[in-house]
Amino acid sequence: MRFSGKCVWLLVCILALAGAPRAAAGGQAKSHAPSPERASDAFPPLEAWRAAVVSGSAEAIAKFYSTNPPAKAVVNGQPSSNVNEEAEFWAGLKSAGMREFNPKILEMVSPSSAVRELVLRVEGTLHAPTAAPGAPATGQNVVAGMQMVWARQPAGWKIVEVQRSAFNLNAVRTLPQPSRPNVNLYPPPADAERELQEALAAAKRTHKRVIVVFGANWCYDCHVLDTTFRSKAFAPLVQANYEVVHVNIGDEGKDNAALAARLGVGLAKGIPSLAVLEPGGAVVYAQKNGEFESSVKIGPADVRAFLEKWKPAGSR
């Protein structure tokens, strides 16, 4: 996944899908400190919103948007404060032939107990009108990038900000994809050095090497790579030869840049970007040119070749 700053997250996500760093609604970067508690990978109000979208009822959907203060929306880079238009857009998906509507949470941040910030990958299958009565519909897999900010109000959780792209054709991937991404896959950026040292210590005990994966929770390609490592086809190879540590580069893609430079990992061309270390910390290999940044461009053979090539010498 290529990235060029948090403020252009949705623009890059629209064009690549694929994706890029997240953006605050309205296009302005903002910083926040996650709550000490790790986020759950589910948010019931989002599921209720999804059910309203599936129902095709604009009235039901509109109830999820804040009216005081009015919800703000940015659609394809254009600001809008008309909640009715937003509700009508989502309601119109049903009549347009949308099926299997699935908003996946990639990242969820809790600046406070009353606020949730969600980065979403919204997937669906769009069925074109049938050519003749009784003819089967042709499904097109589509995807959109989206960020929502929810706030707890007296009437319940309401959407106060939203930024989204249009739906585009979903690129074909041959790597396994997560049905529910792990929103805690990448720990807070400040934990990186400690987790790396723990992984190196574990590698010494187990006589393995360490794979350091630089990425972020907002990065869908990072979730795809992790799902691949944990899949039935790859988990035995990974577990037998490697300790895996995830290093968070943060919302702006700038956190842990010094660690990446120390290991020789190039981040400018995207994430995930990997390094392989000996248990003593010596760098065996470091990706410099975004070799794994697109899970559309690589497949199982590429991942297997990487894991086989860089596993401990005694395991080859």
Q: Tell me the per-residue pLDDT of 141-152, one tens digit each, with 9 for 90 and over.
A: 899 999 999 999
Average pLDDT of the chain? 85
112 plus 36 within the same structural domain: yes
Global pTM value: 0.85
pLDDT reading at 20 higher than 70: no
Out of 117, 134, 169, a domain closes at 169
282 plus 310 within the same structural domain: yes
**Does some domain include residue 223?**
yes
Strands (E), 154-238: 156-164, 168-169, 209-215
CB-based contact 181:216 (threshold 8 Å): no
Residue 285 CA to residue 108 CA, distance in Å, equals 32
Give the CB-side neighbour count of residue 311, counting CA atoms within 13 A.
16
110 plus 225 within the same structural domain: no
307 or 19, greater pLDDT = 307
Q: 7 CB contacts (<8 Å, ≥6 apart)?
A: 23, 24, 27, 28, 29
57 plus 197 within the same structural domain: no
98 plus 224 within the same structural domain: no
Strands 156-164 and 168-169: unpaired
Q: 14 CB contacts (<8 Å, ≥6 apart)?
A: 76, 144, 145, 165, 166, 168
Strands (E), the chain: 72-75, 78-80, 98-112, 115-127, 139-153, 156-164, 168-169, 209-215, 242-248, 273-277, 283-286
pLDDT of residue 210: 98
**Does some domain include residue 146?**
yes
Secondary structure of residue 157 in the 3-state scheme: strand
pLDDT of residue 84: 84
**Does some domain include residue 183?**
no
Return the CATH number at 142.
3.10.450.50
Out of 138, 169, 200, a domain closes at 169
Q: Which of 21-25, 77-81, 274-278 has the highest mean pLDDT?
A: 274-278
- Inter-CA distances, 198 with 4, 38, 193, 215, 275, Å: 31, 20, 9, 18, 16
- The string of pLDDT tens digits covering residues 175-233 is 999 999 999 999 999 999 999 999 999 999 999 999 999 999 999 999 999 999 999 99
Mean pLDDT of 244-262: 95
158 plus 204 within the same structural domain: no
| Ranges 16-20, 81-85, 249-253: which has the least confidence | 16-20
What is the percent of the chain with per-residue pLDDT over 90, rounded to a whole number? 71
pLDDT of residue 260: 96
**Does some domain include residue 176?**
no
131 plus 195 within the same structural domain: no
Angle between helices 300-310 and 220-230 (to 10 degrees): 70
144 plus 215 within the same structural domain: no
**Does some domain include residue 181?**
no
Return the CATH number at 209.
3.40.30.10
pLDDT reading at 58 higher than 50: yes
130 plus 265 within the same structural domain: no
pLDDT reading at 153 higher than 60: yes
pLDDT reading at 52 higher than 80: yes
34 or 296, greater pLDDT = 296
Number of domains into which the chain is organized: 2
- The string of pLDDT tens digits covering residues 59-82 is 999 999 999 999 999 988 888 767
User: Model confidence at 9, in pLDDT bands (50, 70, 90)?
Assistant: very low
Structure tokens at 305: 């070749």
Out of 169, 198, 231, a domain closes at 169
**Does some domain include residue 1?**
no
The one-letter amino acid at 233:
A
265 plus 142 within the same structural domain: no
**Does some domain include residue 94?**
yes
pLDDT reading at 295 higher than 50: yes
**Does some domain include residue 184?**
no
Q: What is the extent of the structural domain holding 214?
A: 189-315
Residue 253 CA to residue 70 CA, distance in Å, equals 31
Buried b (16+ CB within 10 A) or exposed e, 204-214: eeeebbbbbbb
pLDDT reading at 7 higher than 50: no
pLDDT of residue 1: 61
The DSSP output letter for 77 is T
The one-letter amino acid at 120:
L
> Does the bond joining 69 to the residue before it have cis omega, within 30 degrees of 0?
yes
35 or 43, greater pLDDT = 43
Mean pLDDT of 270-288: 97
pLDDT reading at 277 higher than 80: yes
DSSP string covering 8-73: GHHHHHHHHSS------TTS--------SSPPPS--HHHHHHHHHHHHT-HHHHHTTB-BTTBPEE
How big, in percent rounded to 5, are the helix, strand and coil portions of the chain? 30, 30, 40
280 plus 141 within the same structural domain: no
CB-based contact 187:219 (threshold 8 Å): no
User: Model confidence at 26, in pLDDT bands (50, 70, 90)?
Assistant: very low
pLDDT of residue 90: 94
CB-based contact 84:70 (threshold 8 Å): no
148 plus 205 within the same structural domain: no
